[in-house]
Amino acid sequence: MQLEQVHIKSAFKFEAEHPTAGDRGIRAMAGAMYELLDEPEIQSAYDDILKFNPTLGAEDKGPYVVNKSWRAFQRNFMGVVKGNRWDTADDPSPLIYIPRHFYPERFIDDQDYAKQHISSLFRINEQGLTPLRDEFVYHVSFLEVVSNIAERAKTIKAVTQIFQPRWSEPAAILDGGCSQNQILKALRTNYRFESQQLLGGYSETNQDPDSYWVDPRMSRVMRRLMAETVEIGDSAGIDNRNIRDLGFRLWAIACSFRPEELLNIRSVNHQLDLMNAQPTGVGFLEADLREAPTKLLNKLHRQGQKYKIVLLSTVLYQLRQEDQQKVLNNMWEMVDDDGIMIVQDAIKPLSDNKDFTCTGDFNTKFMYRTLVKDKAHPDFGWQEYFVSENGRVSKLVPGLGYVAVTGSAEMGIPEALQRVGNRLL
Ligand SMILES: C[S@@+](CC[C@H](N)C(=O)[O-])C[C@H]1O[C@@H](n2cnc3c(N)ncnc32)[C@H](O)[C@@H]1O
């Protein structure tokens, strides 16, 4: 076994013993991989991965490789790749009980099963080929991380600025599934976002991503909004992982950077500084979002008071379908009467009934959406505020939704953004 593989093996061991964001699913996968890494065909797969992408061999890239392996298995298990090659629908295992296109964080929690399944992927087929193994190697070597937790605060910042005139005080925000609380900390500390915002125009008649164009006027408004400090009230994040757990912290980093970016110590430090920041007015509660809302509110140091903004960012895709509705209902209960709820995730375009489906498909461009539901106007349903190229939110367009900030005056999202921008300009 190569030295680099020793690092990778210990990263799998660590993840198996301290399961982080993907909970029992990742624990099972990591435990299985830890045992399987001594087998020649799996060793040879990681040899190839390290050959194709040597940056993954550095000691501190272990968690990143675990993360990428997990994502590659997710695609594999769920047949996310289009076409039938990866279709696992015929798999007789009773453990596969959710539709394809959903992440298996929620379905493989048995280590022996994970082991069997992983081994079967590396087996040679009747034609003497190993297509699944080769696809796995390709994904771990080359597929990029399409998320960055801190950067996702951009859309939340913009929505907060749009709504702030409605409220007499800075908005108290509740962030469900907050990870290391980067979003609230980014708002509170006026985090410098890593990449320049590009806001494309949006054709109302044609939602094809290729028809987006860069709108310099809107870009300017957005840059202005991002530079501004936004005041937030007494806010808190909830996560069912322990925020201090080292594995959880490493996972949050692994989820937010591409390998070559990990070599850029300044950008990693920037995010580490954010994770280490302890701004006042940003609390954390270790709890399960499926718990009763009154119970959660009572644990939250605001004497059971509700929140102006309740957020679920990139959390729904991790929940079983029956839990998605439950968590949505719970979070809605915690929204103040004149407050709003924000959901952002890989979400299917809205249909006329103003509802949505969480697809969990983060690899299709412009599938990542930011939706808002207004408690003062529940009849509006879920309104689309932003559509982002991916979960890094570096290229985004204003959505087709509309907003009524005060009274009943309604306006489209670009107009709402411009209003805030004009106030600031
Ligand atoms: C992909 S991360 C998203 C982090 C951050 N909100 C963002 O936008 O990047 C999903 C987070 O949801 C948390 N989570 C998943 N299910 C949960 C549950 N039932 N209760 C509380 N937190 C949960 C996970 O632990 C993880 O930190």
pLDDT digits (tens, 9 = 90+) for 341-353: 999 998 887 766 6
Q: Where in the chain is the domain with CATH 3.40.50?
A: 150-424
Residue 239 Cβ < 6 Å to ligand 1: yes
Cα–Cα distance, 316 to 203 (Å, whole number): 28
pLDDT of the residue at 50: 95
Q: Are 310 and 296 in contact (CB under 8 A)?
A: no
Q: Is the CB of 247 under 6 A from ligand 1?
A: no
Q: Is 392's C-beta closer than 6 angstroms to any atom of ligand 1?
A: no
pLDDT of residue 207: 57
pLDDT at 96: 30
Residues of the chain with pLDDT under 70: 20-23, 74-108, 195-211, 259-260, 263, 351-353, 363, 424-425
Which pLDDT does position 38 carry in this prediction?
93
Alpha helices in 334-403 (DSSP H): none
Helix, strand, coil percentages, rounded to 5, for the chain: 45, 15, 40
- The closest alpha carbon to 154, from 187, 203, 201, belongs to 187
Q: What is the pLDDT of residue 5?
A: 83
Instruction: Give the CATH architecture of domain 150-424.
Output: 3-Layer(aba) Sandwich (3.40)
DSSP strands (E only) in 123-271: 173-176, 198-201, 213-214, 235-239
Evaluate whether 332 touches 109 at the Cβ level (below 8 Å): no
- Give the residue, out of 318, 325, 362, with the most ligand 1 atoms within 8 A of its beta carbon, to mutate for a pocket test: 318
Of 299, 29, 22, 66, residue with least CA distance to 177: 22
Q: How far is the CA of 335 from the centre of ligand 1 (A)?
A: 19
Q: For residue 187, how far is its CA from the centre of ligand 1 (angstroms)?
A: 18
Q: What is the pLDDT of residues 203-249, one digit of tens each?
A: 454 556 666 777 888 888 888 899 999 999 999 999 988 888 877 78
* pTM of the predicted model over 0.75: yes
Ligand 1 in contact with 118 (CB < 6 A)?
no
Which of ligand 1's atoms lies nearest the C-alpha of 327? Answer: 19
